[in-house]
Amino acid sequence: MNSELASARRIIRLGFALTAIALIAVAGVYVRALMYTPIEVRQGAAQKIFYVHAPAAWAALMAFSLVGIVSALYLWLKDPRLDLFAASSAEVGLAFSVVMLTTGPIWGKPVWGTWWTWDARLTLTLMIFLLFLGYLTLRAALSDPSERARFSAVVGILGLVLVPFIHLSVYLFRTLHPAPILLKPSKPSLPDTMLATLLYALATFTLLYIGFVTTRYGLARAVAAQSGREGTDA
């Protein structure tokens, strides 16, 4: 058991190191976005929210996909470490989706004139948030470790399969009932500096996800090692 704890500690240390680097890089993104990227003429300074919102959404979606995929792997291979990783990804994903769900409306209000529209993207962000919440709440409510792992794996898999359906149904709805959008934020035709800032932000937030999930996973492994059996509280 001691070697298990030792590897867990190493993972935690690695995780914190990666997180620290990522946070510094995030600071770099802030500097670049706020000071060295031009303001979009029609949307104003609020357009820059895009540089923190889009990468957070990307990270949340990535976290969510990994929960689903690793859950499926767990049910197949039965390795408890896979379950610990899925749970870690869910918690980290929740953090990113909080950012996504708050910055989204804050961006929407000045640019689209409304805090919320039930379009495909925003609806999906809300659903993913609820799915993360449901997944983590279920885990917290189950005390038997085997049940916890198996049940949340099922939720993870079902949730991942659900995402395309939500996207499809809202998209189908929207093509028939287009929402009044005053200014459509430009995505494909971004000038070079803006595109570079966006890509830099995406890379940084990805690194932050990796740092967070590594740390959280190490923590879960440590708790599991400490209790001497498979994940009592992970």
Partner 1 sequence: MPSTPDNAGYMIAAYVITVVVYVGYTISLWRRARLMLRSEDD
Partner 2 sequence: MASWIRLAWLIAAKDLRVELRSKTALLSSLVFAALVLVVFNFARDASLVSSTVLAPSVLWITIAFAAVIALNRAFNLERENASMSGLLLAPISRGVIYVGKFLANLAFVAAVELVTLPLFVLFFNVDIWDSLGGLLGVMALASIGFVAVGTIFSAMVVKTRFAELMLPVLLLPFMVPPLIGAVQVTTRLLSGRPLSEMLGWLRLLAVYDVVFVTLCVMVFPALVDE
Residue 98 or residue 166: which is nearer to partner 1 going by CB? 98
Compute the least distance from the CB of residue 128 to partner 1, in Å. 16
193 binds, among partner 2, partner 1, none (CB under 5 to 8 A by kind): none
226 binds, among partner 1, partner 2, none (CB under 5 to 8 A by kind): partner 1
Q: Which residues bind partner 2 (CB under 8 A)?
A: 75, 123, 127, 130-131, 133-134, 137-138, 141-142, 144, 146-147, 150-151, 153-155, 157-159, 161-162, 165-166, 168-170, 172-173
Q: Which residues bind partner 1 (CB under 8 A)?
A: 5, 9, 12, 15-16, 19, 23, 26, 30, 34, 39, 41-46, 48-49, 52-53, 56, 92, 95, 98-99, 102-103, 106-107, 109-110, 208, 212, 215-216, 218-219, 222-223, 226
Compute the least distance from the CB of residue 207 to partner 2, in Å. 29
107 binds, among partner 2, partner 1, none (CB under 5 to 8 A by kind): partner 1
Residue 165 or residue 188: which is nearer to partner 2 going by CB? 165
User: Which residues is 40 bridged to in the sheet?
Assistant: 44
Per the structure block, which two tokens stand in for 68? 């689903």
Distance, CA of 50 to CA of 195 (rounded, Å): 11
Nearest to 86 by CA among 63, 117, 55: 63
155 binds, among partner 2, partner 1, none (CB under 5 to 8 A by kind): partner 2
Compute the least distance from the CB of residue 98 to partner 2, in Å. 17
191 binds, among partner 1, partner 2, none (CB under 5 to 8 A by kind): none
Compute the least distance from the CB of residue 115 to partner 1, in Å. 11
